[in-house]
């Protein structure tokens, strides 16, 4: 009886600790969209400096080095990559790209620099154990095990064969414990672990999450790619703070043909509507990065370009992501941040919807329009978003009593335009194709 009590208490405390790691949706910058596998330390520092100087005061604080930081030759074709590993089979930063790692014990020096600017440092990893570590049967740090005992050679990521999967055994747990210990020693605040939700690998999610917790360092865990299955929400809430709701989202209204990569903006509406009722404080469905501004010089998808989303579509991304309360992760090259994109990312009234609201739901949607509502955390009124999904300009008339807030008249404020519109019982807006409007109702 007493044992059951302590087990239940331990589970509750673990859930509470997990929730407090990310009490609000994390917002920041990630290197993938603009640099793919190839970002260098100097490029990372340049982008992080802009984040600190221009966006940090608005809450943008996470700076993440995405996939491939351990590749000395990221420009090579798959199968020809070289890797940097330590003596216990753990990837370490490639010194030709991250020279500070030579004297600062991996990412410790870079992490300290980020922390000195009041920001948080993150990395991306592919789940599993490096093939090279297994081929050499390297020892697993802090344990009696060898790499071959942890590896599941029948399991590799469907789009990245550099690693084997990790067995759900003591050796596998020891390997993930060794990774987490290394990352904690570097001062990591955020880990995005990839190729782990499709198919949904519950054992590896649990093992890696448990490993992070054992370090005693608060490290946010983000799961990728997607679409993550909604029926796994209880497991997700226990072990992670973020998880992707779709495959990679890029600067497209919709893919060239249905069901093809990449995920387009139109397709995110139904996915967001499915996940909105499942949002819980500390555990955030992630609609993926924001492909705005200049995407380059070496994008993770396509050629270097200015975002192919129109300005109206970019506002729609921010409106939908904010209503869902998705994490907001900018993917643009911040060293080329322009005034329009700066205004898009620093609208405090819109960011407040993402950071301080609850109860979001899609009230209606058809082929031409969608309507979303959520509740401000201060309990006053509602947020209302109107979306034109059609290919032409559209007028939308919406009776405000339909939001179910117990009133028929509201004082209305346009959050994108920063304008008070007076007292209304009906909203009438004309929106360009793929545009949106976002209002605070009091």
Residue ranges matching CATH 3.20.20.70 in the chain: 2-355
Query: What is the per-residue pLDDT for 19?
Result: 63
Three-state DSSP string of the chain: CHHHHHHHHHHHHHHHHHHHHCCCCCEEEECHHHHHHHCCHHHHHHHHHHHHHHHHHHCCCEEEECCCCCCCCCCCCCCCCCCCECCCCCECCCCCCCHHHHCCCCCHHHHHHHHHCCCEEEEEEECCEEHHHHHCCCECCCCCCEHHHHEECCCCECCECCEEEECCCHHHHHHHHHHHHHHHHHCCCEEEEECCECCECHHHHHHHHHHHHHCCCCCEEEECCCCCCHHHHHHHHHHCCEEECCCCECCCCCCCCCCCCCECHHHHHHHHHHHHHHCECCEEEECCCECCCEECCCCCCCCCEECCCCHHHHHHHHHHHHHHCCCEEECCCHHHCCHHHHHHHCCHHHHHHHHCEEEEEEEEECCCEEEEEEEECCCCCEEEEEEECCCCCEEEEEEHHHHCCCCCCEEEEECCCCEEEEEECEEEEEECCCCEEEEEEC
Alpha carbon distances (Å) from 209 to 27, 213, 286: 21, 6, 18
CATH fold for the domain made of 2-355: TIM Barrel (3.20.20)
The pTM of this model reads: 0.94
Query: What is the per-residue pLDDT for 22?
Result: 97
- pLDDT, one tens digit per residue, over 247-284 is 999 999 998 776 778 999 999 999 999 999 999 999 99
The mean pLDDT of the chain is: 95
CATH top class, domain 364-441: mainly beta
Query: What is the per-residue pLDDT for 257?
Result: 73
Query: What is the per-residue pLDDT for 430?
Result: 98
Residue ranges matching CATH 2.60.40.1180 in the chain: 364-441
Residues in the chain with pLDDT values less than 50: 3-16
Query: What is the per-residue pLDDT for 18?
Result: 61
């Amino acid at each position: 009886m007493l044992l059951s009590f302590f087990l239940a208490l331990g589970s509750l405390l673990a859930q509470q600790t997990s929730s407090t790691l990310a009490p609000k949706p994390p917002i920041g910058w990630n290197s993938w969209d603009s640099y793919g596998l190839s970002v260098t330390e100097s490029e990372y520092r340049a982008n992080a400096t802009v984040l600190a100087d221009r966006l940090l005061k608005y809450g943008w604080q996470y700076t993440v080095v995405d996939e491939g930081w351990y590749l000395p030759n990221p420009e090579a074709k798959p199968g020809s990559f070289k890797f940097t590993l330590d003596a216990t089979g753990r990837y370490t930063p490639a010194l030709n790209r991250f020279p500070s790692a030579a004297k600062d014990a991996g990412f410790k020096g870079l992490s300290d620099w980020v922390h000195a600017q009041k920001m948080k440092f993150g990395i991306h990893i592919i789940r599993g154990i490096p093939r090279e570590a297994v081929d050499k049967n390297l020892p697993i740090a802090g344990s009696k095990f060898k790499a071959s005992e942890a590896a599941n050679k029948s399991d590799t990521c469907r789009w990245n064969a550099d690693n084997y999967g990790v067995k759900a055994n003591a050796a596998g747990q020891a390997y993930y414990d060794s990774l987490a210990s290394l990352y904690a020693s570097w001062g990591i605040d955020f880990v995005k672990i990839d190729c782990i939700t499709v198919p949904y690998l519950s054992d590896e999610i649990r093992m890696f999450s448990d490993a992070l917790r054992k370090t005693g360092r608060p490290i946010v865990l983000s799961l990728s790619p997607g679409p993550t299955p909604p029926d796994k929400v209880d497991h997700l809430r226990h072990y992670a703070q973020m998880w992707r709701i779709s495959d990679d989202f890029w600067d497209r209204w919709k893919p060239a043909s249905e069901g093809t990569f990449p995920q387009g903006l139109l397709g995110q509406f139904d996915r967001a509507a499915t996940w909105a009722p499942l949002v819980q404080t500390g555990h955030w469905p992630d609609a993926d990065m924001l492909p705005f501004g200049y995407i380059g010089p070496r994008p993770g998808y396509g050629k270097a370009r200015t975002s192919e989303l129109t300005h109206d579509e970019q506002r729609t991304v921010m409106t939908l992501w904010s209503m869902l309360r998705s994490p907001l992760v900018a993917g643009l090259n911040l060293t080329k941040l322009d005034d329009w994109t700066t205004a898009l990312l620093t609208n405090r009234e819109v960011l407040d919807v993402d950071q301080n609201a609850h109860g979001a739901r899609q009230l209606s949607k058809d082929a031409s329009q969608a309507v979303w509502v959520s509740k401000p955390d201060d309990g006053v009124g509602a947020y209302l978003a109107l979306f034109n999904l059609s290919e032409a300009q559209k007028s939308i008339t919406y009776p405000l009593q339909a939001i179910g807030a117990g009133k028929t008249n509201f004082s209305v404020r346009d959050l994108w335009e920063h304008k008070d519109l007076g007292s209304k019982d009906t909203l009438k807006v004309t929106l360009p194709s793929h545009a949106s409007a976002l209002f605070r109702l009091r």
